[in-house]
Amino acid sequence: MSKLTFDGIAYNRTAEESVLDCLTRHGVVVPNSCRSGICQSCMLRAVSDDPPAAAQKGLKETQKEQRYFLACSCIPSGDFEATSELPQLTRTSAQVRAVEKISPAIARVRLDYSRPFDYRPGQFLNLYRPDGLIRTYSIASVPQFEDFIELHVQRTEQGRMSRWVHEELKSGDLVHISAPLGECYYRPGNTEQPILMVGTGSGLAPLYGVLRDALRAKHSAPIWLYHGSRTRDGLYLIDELRSLAREYENFRYFPCLSRESGYEAFLAARANDAALTEHKNLKGWRVFIAGHADMVGATKKRVFLAGASLGDIHSDAFLLARN
């Protein structure tokens, strides 16, 4: 048993507990969402000792130098002191322009921002509910095309944030968002490099942004997008993507259903299975994968084994929140 001191109060911590798990067990509320070091909503700061390297994975060098760390992945080797005071981390207010149901499962949220908001399509941000609840959503908009931020929120029955978005959030409401995070975006150059995209559910959001950004940058090589869902209700933006496929001859789009059949216009397969059946050799390709974490992890491995370089594999894994 070791001691964890947080904001001046000491707590007993077991050897295997993360800082987040310890504080949660003691009833201390720490903002968190994914609990896997992706969303960065549980960021804290070490008071004196440097935090474990694993707890700083994905942070900027300037944040590391100031001993910022992610509580969910921080398991100190002994006594440890941390604080919630993060003076350089700020939130930006945003006003809801519109909330639109674009499928039975997906709500499209468009946000207006008053301050400059520099982002790349495919990155993600933290959305803060007025009561402090935080969830992470990928950005589907493209700043060169739209003057708003677009998020796609998939409703889940146990999802406190998603139910609030679908049932209560409305035009004119004020929310707060974090600065953009993540590396799953299109990088200009290598326009003759083929691109494969695989997504499930609202994992289409970052891919939709990346796709349109690549087409805007005149990416000339083939771009293949496979978007999958268990049922027809989980597919969306079908008309928009088919329109893009008609407009750009180098873009091909394949909607996939894994548990429903009888739709001639859709592939009866999981999106990753359909993509890797068609593309067995991915050497030299750029690959984007987004959706449920299990699918993303399995597909990254298969894509690598099919020849794609690790440096050319970009992913955005979605995890269900525990609370």
User: Which CATH fold topology does 92-177 show?
Assistant: Elongation Factor Tu (Ef-tu); domain 3 (2.40.30)
For the chain, the structural domain boundaries read 2-83, 92-177, 195-318
d(CA 291, CA 319): 9
Residues 6 or more apart in contact with residue 267 via CB below 8 angstroms? 226, 254, 255, 256, 257, 274
Residues 217, 219, 220, 225, CA torsion sign? negative
d(CA 299, CA 62): 33
Domain 195-318: give its CATH code: 3.40.50.80
d(CA 159, CA 135): 10
Answer for the pair 151, 127: CB distance below 8 angstroms, yes or no: yes
Domain 2-83: give its CATH code: 3.10.20.30
To which H or E segment does residue 305 belong? helix 293-305
Answer for the pair 134, 40: CB distance below 8 angstroms, yes or no: no
Q: How far is CA 246 from CA 97, 210, 258, 286, in A?
A: 30, 18, 25, 22
pLDDT for 105: 93
pLDDT in tens for each of the 323 residues of the chain?
A: 899 999 999 999 999 999 999 999 999 989 888 888 888 889 999 998 899 999 999 887 878 888 999 999 999 999 999 998 865 556 889 999 999 999 999 999 999 987 888 899 999 999 999 998 999 999 999 999 999 999 999 998 889 999 999 999 999 999 999 988 888 999 998 999 999 999 999 999 999 999 999 999 999 999 999 999 999 989 999 999 999 999 999 999 999 999 887 788 899 999 999 999 999 999 999 999 999 999 999 999 999 999 999 999 999 988 766 55
Do 2-83 and 195-318 share a fold?
no
pLDDT for 87: 56
pLDDT for 90: 64
Q: Which pTM was predicted?
A: 0.79
Residues 6 or more apart in contact with residue 302 via CB below 8 angstroms? 272, 276
CA angle 105/109/112 to nearest 5° reads: 180
